[in-house]
Amino acid sequence: MERADLPLDVRLMTVVTRGLVLVFAVLCLGAIATWIVRHPAWSVRAISVQGEVTHQNAVGLRAQLAAPLRSKLQGSFLTLDLQQVRQMFEAVPWVKHARVQREFPNRLRVTLEEHRAVAWWGEAGSGQLVSDQGQVFEANPDDGEELPELAGPTEQAPQIWSLYQSLSAELERLELGLVRLELNERGNWRAELDSGAFIELGRGTPEDLMERVRRFTATLAQLTQRYPGTLQSVDLRYPNGYALRVQGVTTVSEDASKKPTQTR
């Protein structure tokens, strides 16, 4: 008998039966998939950490991440959100970037990249550092006494670090060590030397500031021969020269001795 010759109710029953069979098959597959995913065999058994771990070790990471990892690893290895695990590792001090990968059947591999501290941010011992990429992060170094200080608006940290490198290289030619560089809210730059002397750089682009500094370093040797003594401060905010104060330099009048020596 042709299907078209079957009664309508029989044909409807056949369609409904096939639909129910299909739904049942899908539900069965879903149940099997759920059982497989939740099977204890797929639980995360271990996490291996590699990469740059100079400031972090297995014990320290375990102590800092024990609670958050325990809550995140309750699920299956197959459904685990690697993005959340990555964010947890990157929240640990010194960790700049973390890459999390699955290793079948039940392991995670985490590759860490650490910050490289080049300066304190704000004051020494503040708990905030600047990386070699100009990024401010929270941590405390083991040898922080040798780090310079950078200060200013946080969003300007990359620019401050870049200018520090240029200034430090220029001042090192005269054996002057740069220990602090600060950008205040008004946009004025100020540097401090390891001798305790201050350099007022004023405002301007990095190119403008470096031009003023080079004008100063090009003539400092001549001035120190003429005015021997300890350098106390330098003001580079003059349009065609600069002013400096040298300890022990006096003039004829007492009032004049309180004024900085200006060179042009």
Segment 200-220, tens digit of pLDDT: 999 999 999 999 999 999 988
Q: What is the pLDDT of residue 256?
A: 38
Output phi, psi for 149, to 5 deg.
-115, 135
pTM for the full model?
Answer: 0.73
CATH class of the domain defined by 41-114: alpha beta
Q: What is the pLDDT of residue 72?
A: 61
Q: What is the pLDDT of residue 59?
A: 63
Q: What is the pLDDT of residue 21?
A: 74
What confidence tens digit (pLDDT) does each residue in 107-158 have? 888 899 999 999 999 999 899 999 999 999 998 887 667 899 999 999 999 9
Which stretches of the chain score pLDDT less than 70? 1-11, 28, 30-44, 57-59, 62-63, 66-78, 143-144, 249-264
What Cα–Cα distance (Å) separates residue 33 from each residue in 81, 103, 223? 18, 20, 83
CATH of region 141-263: 3.40.50.11690
Q: What is the pLDDT of residue 201?
A: 97
Q: What is the pLDDT of residue 119?
A: 96
Q: What is the pLDDT of residue 250?
A: 47
Q: Which residues contact 185 (CB under 8 A, 6 or more apart)?
A: 153
* Residue range(s) of every CATH 3.40.50.11690 domain in the chain: 141-263
